[in-house]
Amino acid sequence: MKRLSSIFALTILLFVSCGKKESSGDDFSKPTTETPSSEPSSTETSSAATDAEKYDPHRGEGKYDKVDLGAKLDQAMATEGEKAAGVKCTSCHKLTDEKLVGPGWKDVTTRRKPEWIMNFITNPDPMIDKDPAVQAQLEICLVRMPNQGLSDAEARNILEYMRKNDGVK
Amino acid sequence: MKNKFIQSIFVIAVGSMLFTSCKPKDSGDAVSGDAAQKAYVAPGKYDEFYNFVSGGFSGQLSVYGLPSGRLFRVIPVFSVDPEKGWGYSEETKPMLNTSHGFVPWDDLHHTEMSQTNGEVDGRWVFANANNTPRIARVDLKTFKTAEIIELPNVGGNHSSPFITENTEYVVAGTRFSVPGDYVDGDVPINTYKQNFKGHISFVKVGKEGEMDLAFQIVTPGVNFDLSHAGKGKSHGWMFFSCYNTEQANTLLEVNASQKDKDFIMAVNWKKAEEYVKAGKAKKQSVKYVHNKWDEKTHTATSETKNEVLVLDATALKDICYMIPCPKSPHGCDVDPTGEYIVGSGKLAALIPVFSFDKLQSAITNKQFDGDYSGISVVKYEAALHGEVKKPGLGPLHTEFDAKGNAYTSMFVSSEVVKWDIKSLKVLDRVPTYYSVGHLCVPGGDSKKPFGKYMIAYNKITKDRYLPTGPELAQSAQIYDISGDKMRLILDFPTIGEPHYAQAAPADLIRNNGQYKFYKIAENNHPFAAKGEKEAKVVRQGNKVHVYMTSIRSHFAPDNIEGIKMGDEVYFHITNLEQDWDVPHGFSIKGANNAELLIMPGETTTLKWVPDRVGIFPMYCTDFCSALHQEMSGYVRVSPAGSSVPLTWSVGTNQPKI
Ligand SMILES: [Cu+2]
């Protein structure tokens, strides 16, 4: 009995000391303002890493749940996408199936769901850590795809350019 | 027997009292058991404060975390820094331009953060160059030196940079009075009293931080040491400590410590501003430069200016007043209420505290003690709030907390003394290791000190760290001041010789629009290559411009041929990364300036003049990915007059073989 109560007391102590730390406000590792979506924060990455079992390899991880593609190609978007890719992507990716620094883009839109592509190109780090296909790719390329700070519009335009590359008319 | 026992206990007690009041010999003596816990910041956790520390003779500004004492960054300001290409890249060279030409080094003594309503606002840190007088503004969105302005008529810009409560002005006083640049300076040195003058500079600060030398006040020749702005009720006034009021010009250690009292000069800068507006300032022709960094073109420009407005303090009787202050004052510090001005005489055995209200009534009632070379001297007692008696030896600098306490560093007796500003009673004292200079309390010179920590910046470190030759890193020490007693919690080594420092809550800085990378779309560098398709090599006579890109893990182009002896090659490298903390480096064999370190989205230029024919490897100097070692290329240099065509490529061999 005596023993039990001392364990109980110890538990309270532990609990209290934990609680105290929480409320002290000394943890500066959490941003006080919302991180804009274009800037992935390391805290996002690490909290996401804890629920790896929830990872959906078809959708990937990021803010895109559903991406609607037109039946036909949006030529204007594809043109904008080509420009953005010229600045941020094609240093490392060829349009063919040939690997440069990263894999070639040929047929990427038939191999991957649009949500997956949008999530990966805007939020690569957690997916490189979790996605089995990306991990397999990393063993070949050995370079983690950098986060190129794509805006939502840039990412969507690049996806359209990838579709054009895959023959969508 | 019993008596003897009691006696011996008494002796031991007295003995140990004496012992503890002496400077502890052992480095651990002043540290209590839980000190490590108080300074510990777990891996992955952030510090509570940023600490911006002057680098002294290193010429740079260092950024530490509080309470961990971890070094986060060294920001190059007045000295070249090959690590970052500062002063070596074509874009940064103009930042170190002066009226004396390119000056690769200076002595950075004090840092001062911008303020709004007398509170630290986290926008900028200002810093002084002592040797070739300049003031720099460091932008805290980029942690980069954004601007440097030179000061004419000044020798040893020590009393600098101190700011007014809304960052209206950054103020600087000359350490060495010298003949003004606008008069004939070819005079016998022993005519100091007649020909040498002090100039204090008021540099206006604009909304975006841009600096402009608004006016100077010419004073009798003295040495200005430090300064602080009034605040609250004393807003509109600025206070400068003066030594060598003997106006000696040789063996100052004897000849400039003759008088029992030197001065604190009180300047009514609002009045001075009115006089400037009323046209009472003389236009003087001088020469100084103003260097600005452009965040969009990633390039500095240097502009030479030829005029300054000068007000004469001895002709305009109501802008400057001298307050007697014992003896060779160094610090001149204003408390958070703006009422008390603390003078710290390096050679004095007390700390005089002046009252702003009493100073005002002394001026109104003309309670003067004659004049000093034409400037009214206020009666000591008329301006005095009181003296802190026997504070220690060599009071140097005072900072404040939010609870009405002052903390004064004692250079000679190596200690910090805490005292009550109103009652002037000494409350506590702690040893420092050794010869403490300035102190810093976060916000400690503002209207709103954050208290909590006090950092002492020391001149001597021996007995603290493992020996490293004849020299040791200088040290700083962090004290917890949240309780009644100051408690040492950590030593940490510093770069150069730390002087003044400033600190602000981490959130104020890191949530203030801080850059993580440069957006490539906003890169307006004239030689930027935004994407590999823009990579190219262009010949203009004997100048060859290489528009190069870098990304994990290659350069484009990575093979260049057709460079000839006699060419000047400019590598303009654009880092295409848009992920933060991924700079790339660039270096080429035989480059006799330095390497480059190019931030994500930035364009930086290295000038290279090949000195011989051959193949020159170039490579990335910052380990950037698993294929970093592969991030390299070749430049072929042919003899002058050779017919090798200018070609460049990435991923193909040219000509095909
Ligand atoms: Cu690299």
pLDDT in tens, B319-374: 999 999 987 888 999 999 999 999 988 777 899 999 999 999 999 999 999 999 99
Q: Look at residue B496 and give its three-state secondary structure.
A: coil
Position B348 scores a pLDDT of 77
Q: Residue B512: pLDDT band by 50, 70, 90 thresholds? A: confident
B267 closest CA partner among B159, B365, B401: B159
pLDDT above 80 for B463: yes
Q: Number of A:B CB contacts under 8 A?
A: 74
Position B77 scores a pLDDT of 98
Q: What's the mean pLDDT in B524-543? A: 97
Position B96 scores a pLDDT of 98
CA A6 to chain centre: 48
pLDDT in tens, B369-383: 999 999 999 999 999
Position B326 scores a pLDDT of 87
CA dihedral B389, B394, B396, B402 (to 10 degrees): -40
Position B24 scores a pLDDT of 47
pLDDT above 60 for B13: no
pLDDT above 70 for B546: yes
CB contact under 8 A, B45 and A28: yes
Instruction: Give me the residue label for tokens 């009644």.
Output: B484
**Ligand 1 mean position, distance from CA B608 (Å):** 20
Judging contacts by C-beta atoms under 8 Å, the chain A residues touching residue B516 are 39
Name the minimum distance, in Å, from the CA of B140 to any CA of chain A.
17
pLDDT in tens, A92-130: 999 999 999 999 999 999 999 999 999 999 999 999 999
pLDDT in tens, B293-327: 999 999 999 999 999 999 999 999 999 999 999 87
Yes or no: say if B123 and B114 are a contact pair by the CB < 8 Å rule. yes
pLDDT above 70 for B165: yes
Yes or no: say if B72 and B586 are a contact pair by the CB < 8 Å rule. no
Q: What's the mean pLDDT in B562-590? A: 96
Strands of the sheet containing B329-334, edge to edge, are: B329-334, B340-345, B350-355, B384-389
Residue B48, chain A, CB below 8 Å: the answer is yes
The secondary structure of residue B468, as a DSSP letter, is B
Q: What's the mean pLDDT in B496-524? A: 94
Position A60 scores a pLDDT of 95
CB contact under 8 A, A91 and B519: no
Judging contacts by C-beta atoms under 8 Å, the chain A residues touching residue B532 are 86, 90-91
Name the minimum distance, in Å, from the CA of A147 to any CA of chain B.
5
pLDDT above 80 for A3: no
pLDDT above 70 for B497: yes
pLDDT in tens, B66-79: 999 999 999 999 99
Judging contacts by C-beta atoms under 8 Å, the chain A residues touching residue B521 are 87
Judging contacts by C-beta atoms under 8 Å, the chain B residues touching residue A81 are none
Position A27 scores a pLDDT of 43
Instruction: Give me the residue label for tokens 């969508």.
Output: A168
Instruction: Give which of B37, B41, B46, B550 to mutate to test A binding, by max A Cβ within 10 Å.
Output: B46
The 3-class secondary structure across B333-347, one letter per residue, is EECCCCCEEEEEECC
Yes or no: say if B330 and B397 are a contact pair by the CB < 8 Å rule. yes
What does the alpha-carbon distance between residue B618 and residue B631 come to, in Å, rounded to a whole number?
9
Residue A100, chain B, CB below 8 Å: the answer is yes
ipTM rounded to 2 decimals: 0.78
CB proximity under 8 Å: B 608-627 to A: 625-627
pLDDT above 70 for A50: no
CB contact under 8 A, B578 and A88: yes
Name the minimum distance, in Å, from the CA of B524 to any CA of chain A.
14
Q: Residue B99: pLDDT band by 50, 70, 90 thresholds? A: very high
- Report which of residues B657 and B381 the model is more confident about: B381
Closest CB to A146 among B516, B519, B579: B579
Q: What's the mean pLDDT in B627-648? A: 96
What does the alpha-carbon distance between residue B163 and residue B235 come to, in Å, rounded to a whole number?
11
CA dihedral A101, A107, A108, A109 (to 10 degrees): 150
Residue B277 CB partners (closer than 8 Å, separation 6+): none
Q: Which two tokens stand for residue B595?
A: 């390497």
The model carries a pTM of 0.89
Positive or negative torsion for Cα B481, B483, B486, B488: negative
pLDDT in tens, B112-136: 999 999 999 999 999 999 999 999 9
Q: What's the mean pLDDT in A10-25? A: 36
Residue B79, chain A, CB below 8 Å: the answer is no
CB contact under 8 A, B531 and A32: no
Residue A87, chain B, CB below 8 Å: the answer is yes
CB contact under 8 A, A33 and B582: no
Yes or no: say if B181 and B245 are a contact pair by the CB < 8 Å rule. no
B598 closest CA partner among B627, B569, B576: B576
Pairing of strands B554-556, B543-551: antiparallel
Yes or no: say if B264 and B332 are a contact pair by the CB < 8 Å rule. yes
Q: What's the mean pLDDT in A50-68? A: 86
pLDDT above 70 for B450: yes
What does the alpha-carbon distance between residue B356 and residue B239 come to, in Å, rounded to a whole number?
11
CB contact under 8 A, B531 and A144: no
**Ligand 1 mean position, distance from CA B317 (Å):** 63
B436 closest CA partner among B411, B467, B453: B411
CB contact under 8 A, A27 and B506: no
What does the alpha-carbon distance between residue B607 and residue B301 come to, in Å, rounded to a whole number?
17
pLDDT in tens, A136-158: 999 999 999 999 999 999 999 99
Yes or no: say if B385 and B420 are a contact pair by the CB < 8 Å rule. no
Cβ of B37: how many Cβ atoms within 10 Å?
A: 8
Residue A35, chain B, CB below 8 Å: the answer is no
Judging contacts by C-beta atoms under 8 Å, the chain B residues touching residue A150 are 578
CB contact under 8 A, A149 and B532: no
Pairing of strands B49-54, B501-505: antiparallel
Closest CB to A148 among B48, B578, B626: B578
Strand partners, B400: B406
Position B655 scores a pLDDT of 62
Closest CB to A28 among B506, B516, B578: B506
Strands of the sheet containing B559-564, edge to edge, are: B596-598, B584-588, B614-619, B632-638, B559-564, B647-649
CB contact under 8 A, B625 and A28: no
pLDDT above 60 for B427: yes
Residue A167, chain B, CB below 8 Å: the answer is no
Q: Residue B252: pLDDT band by 50, 70, 90 thresholds? A: confident
Percent of chain B with pLDDT over 70: 95
Position B60 scores a pLDDT of 98
Q: Which two tokens stand for residue B432?
A: 């420092």
* A10 phi, psi to nearest 5 deg: -60, -45
Residue B590, chain A, CB below 8 Å: the answer is no
Name the minimum distance, in Å, from the CA of A36 to any CA of chain B.
11
B409 closest CA partner among B428, B389, B392, B385: B392
Q: What is the DSSP string of B92-137?
A: TGGGGEETTEE-----EEEEEEEEETTEEEEEEEEEEETTTTEEEE
CA B433 to chain centre: 23
Look at B184-193, B382-391, B441-450, B647-656 and tell me which has the smallest mean pLDDT. B647-656
CB contact under 8 A, A88 and B531: yes
B10-to-B15, B19, B82 alpha-carbon distances in Å: 8, 14, 62
CB contact under 8 A, A148 and B521: no
Judging contacts by C-beta atoms under 8 Å, the chain B residues touching residue A33 are 511
Encode B493-526: b = buried (16+ Cβ within 10 Å), e = exposed.
bbbbbbbbbbbbbbbbbbeeeebebbebeebebe
pLDDT above 60 for A36: no
pLDDT above 80 for A29: no
Judging contacts by C-beta atoms under 8 Å, the chain A residues touching residue B45 are 27-29
Name the minimum distance, in Å, from the CA of B293 to any CA of chain A.
25
- Report which of residues B638 and B656 the model is more confident about: B638
Crossing angle of helices A75-88 and A152-165, in 10° steps, is 100
What does the alpha-carbon distance between residue B117 and residue B336 come to, in Å, rounded to a whole number?
12
Position A10 scores a pLDDT of 41
Q: What is the DSSP string of chain A?
A: -HHHHHHHHHHHHHHHHHHHHHHTT--TTS-SSPPPTTS--HHHHHHHHTTGGG--TTT-SSS-S--PPPSS--HHHHHHHHHHHHHHTTTT--SSS--SSS---TTHHHHS-HHHHHHHHHSHHHHHHH-HHHHHHHHHH-SPPP-----HHHHHHHHHHHHHHTT--
Q: Which two tokens stand for residue A10?
A: 């110890």
CB contact under 8 A, A147 and B531: no
Strand partners, B505: B49
Name the minimum distance, in Å, from the CA of B509 to any CA of chain A.
12
